[in-house]
Structure 1
């Protein structure tokens, strides 16, 4: 259990860093995607489609095995995973933020422009405050997806909870046939402890938002 908890902390550390950095980058990209700038929109669209179409595990392999050989880099697996997951999270988050910003009624934007607000002030005082209730449920659901996606760390030999659990099963399975049941059971419980409260929170937030929207 001590080794499993050590792997669990690695999983949690990667997930938290990715959510914070990727979330901040995603908010910025989401705001940029609402601007009427054709070249910028093309660049952001290509970026989004890359991370939407190509499986995350493929991006992880490319970043861990191919790029270091091509450019002579020597990055630890955890750093590579954080980089890839952060870029993927930013793409997903930008879609959530863009949709929330565009859901703000047009007359709200026009009113802000009419009183002389700059683009930055319009985002700060009008768009973002009204978009937050819309963004929150999707962001919480994204957090659970990030936690589950960290299981791919196994593919690049990072000692996360899945890798540690698999190692323990292989080392003890021949001595104790029931080892796999207890080890994978413990992994299930740890993942459940992380994801279940987030899932329930997202449902409550979405329910309250719909109740407010319906008066």
Structure 2
């Protein structure tokens, strides 16, 4: 009896490796998002500052890490900088650093755009009735910016999860990397190995991203309501 494509997926070792790759994607995404989103919110608020110096610094930061491709940043932090400083950094650590830089720059733009969309007349009115800066954020900025921030943030989360596939370039054993290794092992024995393995990886990415996409739509409707 021949070895079929479905047998590849039902092989305990292969399935375990793919699920570990999925878990690694989730771990890297979660850690990067927690740090990156937090920094992004802070940077976004700072970018609305009246200080020209602060605005220039964070605008420069935003432009650098939004314009440079993630692939370039990965090579920079994994190959070039360690060689320059005669040190080593694990590929997982580099992945988190690069994703935090990217996420925080994207999130800062989301937050800033939402904050500047609030009419100035409302903040002037808030100051007129004695609201301090913190109270203005709580009662004026937050209620009006959330409908813009939440959908964009959840969309960013799904982009982060999907973008983890490029981490195979620096050897991170995420799903695509593991899938390639499995396909290379079985491709002669099973010509359709790539179809089965990549199809299963597509399913795993769908499992990770679909609930977030649904949550984004639900929260958007709730906030708008």
TM-score higher than 0.5: yes
Aligned to 2:200: 186
Aligned to 2:22: 8
Instruction: Give the alignment partner of residue 172 of structure 2, picking from 158, 166, 176.
Output: 158
Matches within 5 A, 1:42-121: 42-121=56-135
- Normalised to the residue count of structure 2, the TM-score between the two structures is 0.88
Alignment gaps of 5+ in structure 2: 1-14
- Normalised to the residue count of structure 1, the TM-score between the two structures is 0.92
Distance 1:125 1:192 in 2: 37
Q: Tell me the C-alpha RMSD between the 2 structures.
A: 1.6
Alignment gaps of 5+ in structure 1: none
Deviates more, 1:83-92 or 1:127-136: 127-136
The yes-or-no answer on 1:35 pairing with 2:35 is no
Runs of 4+ in 1 over 6 A off after TM superposition: none
The Cα of 1:181 is off from its aligned counterpart by 1.3
Secondary structure at the counterpart of residue 50 of structure 2: coil
Distance 1:44 1:112 in 2: 27
Distance 1:137 1:180 in 2: 34
Aligned to 1:167: 181
Secondary structure at the counterpart of residue 173 of structure 2: coil
Alignment deviations for residues 88-118 of structure 1 (CA, whole Å, 9 cap, x no partner): 0000000110111112222321122223333
The yes-or-no answer on 1:198 pairing with 2:212 is yes
The Cα of 1:74 is off from its aligned counterpart by 1.3
Distance 2:89 2:138 in 1: 38
Number of residue pairs matched by the alignment: 211
Secondary structure at the counterpart of residue 28 of structure 1: helix
Distance 1:128 1:9 in 2: 34
The Cα of 1:10 is off from its aligned counterpart by 0.4
Structure with greater Cα Rg: 2
